[in-house]
Amino acid sequence: KANRKFHPDDTVVDVAGVKIGGGNFAVIAGPCSIESEEQITYCAQRVKAAGASLLRGGAFKPRTSPYSFQGMRAEGLDLLKLARRATGSPIVTEIMNTEHLPLFENVDLIQVGARNMQNFELLKAVGRQKKPVLLKRGLANTLEELVMSAEYIMAEGNENVILCERGIRTYETSMRNTLDLAAVCMLHKMTHLPVVVDPSHACGQAWMVPQLAKAAVAAGADGLMIEVHNNPAKAKCDGAQSLTPDQFDELMAFIAKEVEFFGKTL
Ligand code: PEP
Ligand code: MN
């Protein structure tokens, strides 16, 4: 179902009215984690004003250490919905567990994170519901495996899948991960699904995010996912890779022109 051979036209995924793919470019932005009502609402207003069409914010966080902040969980989802009400931006957030699916009924785009890319029961469960799914590439997964995971979701009846390249593990240690930009080209050859790039998790360092974001647009990405925090130095998760709202404004001014240059609409 994901194979380009049997479906030559690009798929356009509609996320509560925001289109991604087939010439429609969308930016997903917001903090790694929802921390308070003020924090998520402020970030929501700033990323929307800068031109992001979707708001992200993690409520259930897949942290490496069990002693790190685990997210505000169900309460965080409620705050994210308040931020949606305040701005009108559709919301994107990560699901980690099949049992949590009822909590995600009112979420506009359900994210399956890198660590769950091959959680096949979770893939089947999000495939059995109607909301679009943002499927992130696993930390050490091939493109073939990523496409097969999309196939799991699509085989259950949900064909609204957006793929996300977010960096992979390599022998390089100076960056959090290695951004595989060629994956954008190859995924577009292999599949008809939209491909977005997350430069924030790929490099782990805010100063590098704008350059990688611009490169992703040039590589043909259908969208970007960028972490933006009101106060990165105090962020409960992923502060080092988060842009300030002012830095995001500056990046978006460039991205808007670049997207137009490549003949797409933001
Ligand atoms: C995230 O988007 O906050 C996240 C945890 O991403 P990934 O699954 O790509 O690590
Ligand atoms: Mn993060």
Residues 60-84 have pLDDT tens digits of 999 999 999 999 999 999 999 999 9
Question: In what helix (H) or strand (E) does residue 133 lie, and over which residues does it extend?
Answer: strand 133-136
**Tokens at residue 5, please?**
């051979």
Residue 32 CB less than 6 A away from ligand 1: yes
Q: Is 169 in the pocket of ligand 1 (CB under 6 A)?
A: no
Domain residue ranges of the chain, discontinuous segments joined by +: 4-60+70-261
Q: pLDDT band at 154, cuts 50/70/90? A: very high
Q: How far is the CA of 227 from the centre of ligand 2 (A)?
A: 7
C-alpha 104/C-alpha 119 separation (Å) is 17
Query: What pLDDT score was predicted for residue 76?
Result: 98
Q: Which residues contact 43 (CB under 8 A, 6 or more apart)?
A: 30, 31, 55, 57, 83, 228, 229, 230, 245
Task: Evaluate: CB of 58 within 6 angstroms of ligand 1.
Answer: yes
**CA-CA distances (angstroms) from residue 254 to 66, 179, 210, 231, 260?**
39, 21, 9, 23, 10
Best CA proximity match to 156, nearest among 111, 114, 123, 119? 123
What ipTM was estimated for this complex?
0.99
| pLDDT at position 8 | 97
- CA of 58 from ligand 1 middle (Å) equals 9
| Architecture label for domain 4-60+70-261 | Alpha-Beta Barrel (3.20)
Q: How far is the CA of 224 from the centre of ligand 1 (A)?
A: 13
